[in-house]
Amino acid sequence: MTVATPPHAPATDVAKSSGTRLVDRVFRMRELAILAVFLVMIVVTQLGNSQFLTEQGIKDLLLNATILVLVATGQSLVVITRNVDLSVGSTLGISAFAAGTHLHGGGDPVVAVALAVLLGIGCGLLNGLLVSLGQVPALVVTLGTLYIIRGIDSIWVGSRQITAADLPDSFVDFGSHGLWAVPWLALIALAVLVATAYYLKHFGSGRELYALGSHPEAARLAGIPVRRRVLFAYTVCGALAGLAGALYLARFGNVDSGTGTGYELTVVSAVVVGGVVFTGGSGSVHGAALGALLLTSINSVLPALGVSSVWVLAINGILLLLAIAVDRVVALRVASALKKRNARHA
């Protein structure tokens, strides 16, 4: 800062206009990079296979992304607070089965979904309580609950499974129908996403999530109820994993004790690709959602281009590396732009 500012020269006008634009551009840029990668990928695929973007094709793309988008949205909330929830796959599995058993017993679909969400909230609360009250590393605790919830799920479910035949037709149809090419499930995910993004940007408690992820000690000193916020983030994450479980049931019509196994790595990948930083405090849910869309689309694009499934895994991994490398380059650009701005002039 400079010492000699003329007393009545509000330099703030200049700062505001250019500054706002810069910061906004900066944050949008990272997401734009992912969006660009995504669009290029889609266009290339469409050029290679004209069947790709038919009504059915678009519907498939959206449906594929839906569940991951939901879980990734919840996960980003937790990651923004400098924590992580590895148990989402297990939560998804157990809530999907709970919803399934309810429907199998002739229950109401709305109650079934509510049941799944409630169970998810329960798992989220468990994680949140352990992490925030116990003040122990989230990675270990949620790796533990990953095992615990999965184990309980397996003991409860045993070798039973819920198949499409056990479910009301309306529920299964709901999983694949929609408004023209936009499935109902995708609309639900979109609504959740928009609501979460709005909350994070425009509500005090949303901003506090960023604050406490950015510097936990400072957050405590600023009087932010750290534990309550962390608990909240985990609860939302669990609830969304539960909701995703119910939607999984609608979409795949099939759940057993293994449902959602290994999902945590996919979710974490989506969040990371979406530019949510693991050390907390930065990133956005729409970034994470874009990351999820990108990741699931790769799995549709490659078969549509006729790439042998042997190659899919390797290409997936390399694209993931590319995505984070691109993100990093963008971030570095941003940093140097900030530095230049920082060069003040008397």
Partner 1 sequence: MPDSLSRAIRWDTVVGALLIVLLLLSFSFVDGFGNALNLSFLLGNTLPIALIALPMTLLVVSGEIDLSVASTAGLSGAVMGKLWNEGMTIETIIPVCLLLGVVCGLVNGLLVTRLGLPSLAVTIGTLAAYRGIAQIVLGSDAVTDFPSPYLDFAAGRVGDSFLPQAFLPFLVLLAIAVVVLHATPFGRSLFAIGASEEAARFAGVRVKRAKLWLFVTTGFMASLTGVFWALHYASARYDNATGLELSVVAAVLLGGIDFDGGKGTLGGAVAGVFLLGALQNVMSLLNVSAQSQIVVTGVLLVVSVLGPRVARQIAVARAGRRAVTSAQTS
Partner 2 sequence: MTHPSDPGPTPVLALRDVAKSFGAVRALRSVSLELYAGEVHALAGENGAGKSTLIKTLAGVHRPDAGQVLLDGRPVVFHGPGDARDAGIAVIYQEPTLFPDLSIAENIFMGRQPRRTLGRIDHRATRDATAALMDRLGVELDPDRPARGLSIADQQIVEIAKALSFDARVLIMDEPTAALTGSEVARLFGVVRTLREQGAAVLFISHRLEEIFEICGRVTTLRDGAWIATEPVDGMTEDDLVRRMVGRDLDELYPKQAVTPGDVALSVRRLTREGVFTDVSFEVRRGEIVGLAGLVGAGRTEVARAVFGVDRWDAGEVVVDGRSLTRGAPSTAMAAGLALVPEDRRAQGLVMDMSIERNIGLTGLRTSVRAGLVDRGAERSRSLDWAVRLQVKYARIADAVSTLSGGNQQKVVLAKWLATGPKVLIVDEPTRGIDVGTKAEVHRLLSELAADGVAVLMISSDLPEILGMADRVLVMHEGRLTAEIPRTEATEETVMAAATGRAAA
Partner 3 sequence: ATACGGTTKEDVKNDGAGPAASAGKADPGAALKKGLTVGFLPKQVNNPYFTTADKGGEKALAELGSAYKEVGPSSATDTSGQVSYVNTLTQQQVDAIAVSAQDPGALCTALKQAMGNGIKVVTYDSDTTPQCRNAFVSQASAEDLGRTEVQLLAQQIGYRGEIAVLSAAQTATNQNTWIGYMKEELKDPKYKDVKLVKIAYGNDDAQQSFQQTQGLLQEYPDLKGIISPTTVGIKAAAQYLSGSKYKGKVKLTGLGTPNDMRKYVKNGTVDAFELWDPAKLGDLAARTAVALSSGQITGKEGESFQAGGTTYSIGKDGVISLGKPTVFDAENIDRFNF
Q: Which helix (DSSP H) or strand (DSSP E) does residue 25 occupy? A: helix 12-48
CA-nearest of 230, 208, 211, 236 to 137 is: 230
End-to-end CA separation in angstroms for the chain: 9
Nearer to partner 1, 203 or 278 (CB): 278
CB burial class (10 A; 0-12, 13-18, 19+) of residue 214?
middle
Nearer to partner 3, 22 or 315 (CB): 315
Give the integer Cα–Cα distance in Å for 102 and 108: 8
From the CB of 102, what's the least distance to partner 3, in Å? 18
344 binds ligand ATP (CB under 6 A): yes
Q: Are 57 and 259 in contact (CB under 8 A)?
A: no
User: Using CB under 8 A, which of the segments 53-61, 201-209, 276-284, 314-322 binds partner 3?
Assistant: 53-61
Nearer to partner 2, 14 or 318 (CB): 14
Binding mask 6-45 for partner 2 (x = CB under 8 A): -x--xxx--xx--xx-xx----------------------
Tokens of 122: 């329960």
> Alpha-carbon Rg of the chain, whole angstroms?
22
Query: What are the phi and psi torsion angles at 258 (to 5°)?
Result: -100, 0
| Binding residue count for ligand ATP, defined by CB under 6 A | 3
Residues of this chain that bind partner 1 (CB under 8 A): 130, 134-137, 139-141, 143-152, 154-155, 257, 262, 265, 268-269, 272, 277-279, 310-318, 320-321, 324-325, 328, 332
Residues of this chain that bind partner 2 (CB under 8 A): 1-5, 7, 10-12, 15-16, 19-20, 22-23, 202-204, 207-208, 210-211, 213-215, 217-225, 280-282, 335, 338-344, 346
